């Protein structure tokens, strides 16, 4: 009976582009679509089966169940969710609405384009409101965050020992039971200027992405080139694989056939950001 009901709500893929959108979305659901072990186990099983048995990849009932599951479980942890998981809920709801209202593929294309533009616009707005344009906003993070310490070491030639001491000092500060405790982080004026320039350039580039996706034509390749450059230039330094993956899936959804292959190639390349490149280069340099 269950199988008959699922078959009733099955829909075949109408084009390779549509199949690509659905399969990449299912892949991200398997890898990083939910929060909490309960929903995570369910997503891994159901979405992996939808990928394995591709005739269920566009099933209305299954996508509705996925949407309701994401809404219910993620709403319980809304204030601690990663931003990309909130964005992915919007995307899954959009896919589900597309299926149940029998829209044409241009509905997904136009809405994914708008979604990218709005996400980037509000990212810029949030940074401006929180004084991201002020000097020093990123400075401290690059001085002690282990994800960026070696970038700082290589680009600005700050001794690694200084950065390691900064990290250890912050670690001690976090466990001190004394109010108003503080530590002094070691840096240089040159480093501050370089990071401030990088900070402003990144904000301007993010704003450019937002503007192009909100106001350019659907078939414009300039917006795609700028987004691809943004993803490659940003996420190899800030290794946030979840957000980069959903941005590229949205990019695939709205792109023309000419640009689609570049999004897929970039998606593949960005999987390598989980490799500890900084540590590998550092050890090679010190072994020579």
90: containing domain: 1-103
**pLDDT number for residue 174:** 66
Question: Which residue among 59, 86, 103 closes a domain?
Answer: 103
Q: Are residues 66 and 186 in the same domain?
A: no
**pLDDT number for residue 11:** 80
Q: How far is the C-alpha of 184 from the C-alpha of 38, rounded, in Å? A: 43
**pLDDT number for residue 195:** 78
Q: Are residues 145 and 275 in the same domain?
A: yes
Q: How far is the C-alpha of 255 from the C-alpha of 264, rounded, in Å? A: 11
Q: Are residues 224 and 99 in the same domain?
A: no
**pLDDT number for residue 73:** 81
Q: How far is the C-alpha of 220 from the C-alpha of 243, rounded, in Å? A: 23
Q: Are the C-beta atoms of residues 191 and 158 closer than 8 Å to each other?
A: yes
Q: Are residues 94 and 146 in the same domain?
A: no
pLDDT mean for each 10 residues of the chain (288 residues)? 67 89 92 73 88 89 91 77 84 94 92 95 88 72 70 68 71 64 67 80 92 91 95 85 91 93 94 78 69
Q: How many domains does the chain have?
A: 2
Contacts of 13 (CB under 8 A, 6+ apart): 19, 22, 54, 57, 58
Q: Are residues 286 and 154 in the same domain?
A: yes
Q: What is the pTM of this model?
A: 0.85
**pLDDT number for residue 183:** 62
Q: Are residues 74 and 144 in the same domain?
A: no
Q: Are residues 72 and 152 in the same domain?
A: no
Q: Are residues 149 and 283 in the same domain?
A: yes
Structural domain contains residue 121: no
Structural domain contains residue 126: no
The DSSP output letter for 35 is S
Q: Are residues 139 and 247 in the same domain?
A: yes
Q: Are residues 84 and 153 in the same domain?
A: no
């Amino acid at each position: 009976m269950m199988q008959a009901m699922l078959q009733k709500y099955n829909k075949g893929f109408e084009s390779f582009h549509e199949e690509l959108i659905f399969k990449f979305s299912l892949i991200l659901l398997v890898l990083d679509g939910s929060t909490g072990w309960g929903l995570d186990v369910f997503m891994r099983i159901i979405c992996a089966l939808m990928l394995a048995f591709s005739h269920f990849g566009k099933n209305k009932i299954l996508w509705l169940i996925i949407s309701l599951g994401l809404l219910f479980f993620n709403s319980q942890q809304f204030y601690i969710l990663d931003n990309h998981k909130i964005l992915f809920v919007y995307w899954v709801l959009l896919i589900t609405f597309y299926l149940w209202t029998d829209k044409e593929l241009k509905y997904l294309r136009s809405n994914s384009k708008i979604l990218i533009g709005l996400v980037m616009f509000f990212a810029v707005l949030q940074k401006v409101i929180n004084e991201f344009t002020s000097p020093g906003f990123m400075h401290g993070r690059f001085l002690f965050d282990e994800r960026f310490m070696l970038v700082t070491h290589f680009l600005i030639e700050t001794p690694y020992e200084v950065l390691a001491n900064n990290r250890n000092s912050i670690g001690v500060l976090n466990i001190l039971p004394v109010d108003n405790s503080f530590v002094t982080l070691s840096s240089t004026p040159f480093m501050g200027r370089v990071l401030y320039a990088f900070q402003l350039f990144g904000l301007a580039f993010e704003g450019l992405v937002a503007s192009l996706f909100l106001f350019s034509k659907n078939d414009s390749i300039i917006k795609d080139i700028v987004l691809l450059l943004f993803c490659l230039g940003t996420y190899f330094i800030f290794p946030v694989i979840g957000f980069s993956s959903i941005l590229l899936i949205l990019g695939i959804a709205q792109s023309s056939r000419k640009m689609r292959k570049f999004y897929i190639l970039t998606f593949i390349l960005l999987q390598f950001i989980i490799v500890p490149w900084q540590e590998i280069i550092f050890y090679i340099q010190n072994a020579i």
